Amino acid sequence: MTSPPRVPTRTDRPSPSAREAASAATASRLAGLTARISLGKNVTAESANYFMLLGVTLFMVFFGLVMVLSSSSVESHSDSDNFFSRFWSQGAFALIGLPLMFLVSRLPARFWKKSIWFLLAAACFLQVLVLLTPLGVEIGGNRNWLRIGSFTGQPSEAIKVALVVWLGVVLARKRDVLDQWKHVAVPVVPVAGGAIALVLLGGDLGTTVIMAALVLGALFYAGVRMRYLVIGTLGMGAIAVAVALSSASRVGRIAAFFGGSSAANPDVDWQIKNGFYALASGGVFGVGLGNSHSKWSWLPAADTDFIFAIIGEELGLIGAIVVLLLFVLLAIVFLRIIHASTDPFARVTTAAIMVWLIGQAFVNIAVVLGVIPVLGVPLPLISAGGTAMISSMIAIGIVLSFARESSKESHTTPSAARSAGPRA
């Protein structure tokens, strides 16, 4: 015989304090679960542009080291009886550039806003030392190198980094008055124009063209009126033509581009033709990594200005297309970061860096393909060149810092908006 069900008494029911404790524990578990889900979404969203840019950069640096080793081994052995001398040098600069890139990616925007005038002045001072003191060294007809002891570098690369940040700071501050030509001309012409003139006085027309392009790119993304940009482009183009015609060496490059020759620069025609031979002999699949014939003292600057020709020869059309796609992907990441940011300083600076790196890659590849006359600029992140490598990685570090900050803003703004909503 079963006993009747037991009726709970008052003492069996949970007390109000116990119910409150259980409710609090449940709310705490739900809050923790929601926070973990939200954190997972935030980490994924925050990491998208940052890790995409970081991954492309690291791959290009590694790929560049492999191609520098392949393209420079013969000349390295001829110069120093060591097949790896130029590779070790480039690798050392890459090891310096990597920590600098990560360090710069952690710097807040206020650091650049406070220190940019000093940094730009210091870079211009180094360029003045190149022009006016025995520390300046002339290489390939350009006095654009500074030699201190065993170290040789290009201060113009430091000017590029400082100039893109300076443009971002100044144009962001003046964004409300950029429709007036005076507010565009007053900061840009004396400061940016003066920095470009210092490089131009050294005879480096290629770097000057890149610097002029990044200035125009910064002005475009800052919202300057198109007619001001057209006038500026025409003015810079006229100056570039005048400078190109003022040197017998540059006239020789132009003559070689149109199929002629010049006694002042007889090696340019040789360089262009051997660049074509390297690309043609590569075919679709290439002759194999390390099997280039042009690097055996046939192609001048095989590891620097004409490394794209060696890539086309050893890796073929497929390798050349991969390099082009890498720069396309780099441009896409830059554009994503520009559109994700709400800070005018970050947008303008990122745009200037994008025009610098992508524009320089276009000029380098166009020279190898014979589309434009020889200007002598390296392929960013791939060609041999220590200061060029470090400056490019510092510039990318700056963009990485913007990617971090823009992702933080995108996730803190919605929560702030919710907390600022109507209250009961």
Q: What is the pLDDT of residue 373?
A: 87
Q: What is the pLDDT of residue 420?
A: 36
Residues forming beta bridges with residue 151, ordered by sequence position: 148
DSSP characters for 184-199?
Answer: HHHHIIIIIHHHHHHH
Number of domains in the chain: 1
Closest among 336, 333, 334 to 349, alpha carbons compared: 334
Closest among 91, 78, 163 to 127, alpha carbons compared: 163
Confidence tier at 29 by pLDDT (50, 70, 90): low
Which residue segment(s) compose the domain that 154 sits in? 46-75+82-406
Question: CA-based Rg of the chain, rounded to a whole angstrom?
Answer: 28
Check pLDDT > 90 for residue 282. Answer: yes
Number of C-beta neighbours around residue 121 at 10 A: 12
The pLDDT > 90 percentage for the chain reads 58
CA distance 343 to 288: 47
Classify residue 230: in a domain, yes or no: yes
Check pLDDT > 70 for residue 9. Answer: no
Classify residue 284: in a domain, yes or no: yes
Rounded to an integer, the average pLDDT of 289-318 is: 94
Classify residue 281: in a domain, yes or no: yes
Side by side, the strands of the sheet bearing 142-148 are 136-139, 142-148, 151-153
Per DSSP, helices labelled H in 133-192 are 155-173, 181-187
With beta carbons less than 8 A apart as the criterion, state whether 126 and 155 touch.
Answer: yes
Classify residue 29: in a domain, yes or no: no
Closest among 52, 63, 61 to 98, alpha carbons compared: 61
With beta carbons less than 8 A apart as the criterion, state whether 33 and 321 touch.
Answer: no
Closest among 358, 369, 388 to 161, alpha carbons compared: 388
With beta carbons less than 8 A apart as the criterion, state whether 370 and 363 touch.
Answer: no
Closest among 239, 216, 237 to 228, alpha carbons compared: 216
Whole-structure pTM value? 0.84
Classify residue 419: in a domain, yes or no: no
Classify residue 12: in a domain, yes or no: no
Q: What is the pLDDT of residue 325?
A: 97
Closest among 411, 413, 399 to 336, alpha carbons compared: 399
The token pair that represents 172 in the structure block: 């962001």
Check pLDDT > 90 for residue 141. Answer: no
Give Cα 56 to chain centroid, integer Å: 11
Confidence tier at 54 by pLDDT (50, 70, 90): very high
Classify residue 155: in a domain, yes or no: yes
Check pLDDT > 60 for residue 27. Answer: no
Classify residue 89: in a domain, yes or no: yes
Place of tokens 């940094």: 119
Check pLDDT > 50 for residue 418. Answer: no
72-75: Cβ within 8 A, 24+ apart? 72/295, 72/302, 72/303, 72/384, 73/290, 73/295, 74/295, 74/296, 74/297, 75/295, 75/297, 75/302, 75/303
Task: Give the model confidence (pLDDT) of 154-213 as tens digits.
Answer: 999 999 999 999 999 999 999 888 888 888 888 899 999 999 999 999 888 889 999 999
Burial (0-12, 13-18, 19+ Cβ within 10 Å), 319: buried
Q: Nearest 5°: phi and psi at 138?
A: -100, 125
Confidence tier at 2 by pLDDT (50, 70, 90): low
The token pair that represents 301 in the structure block: 């600057």
Check pLDDT > 90 for residue 62. Answer: yes
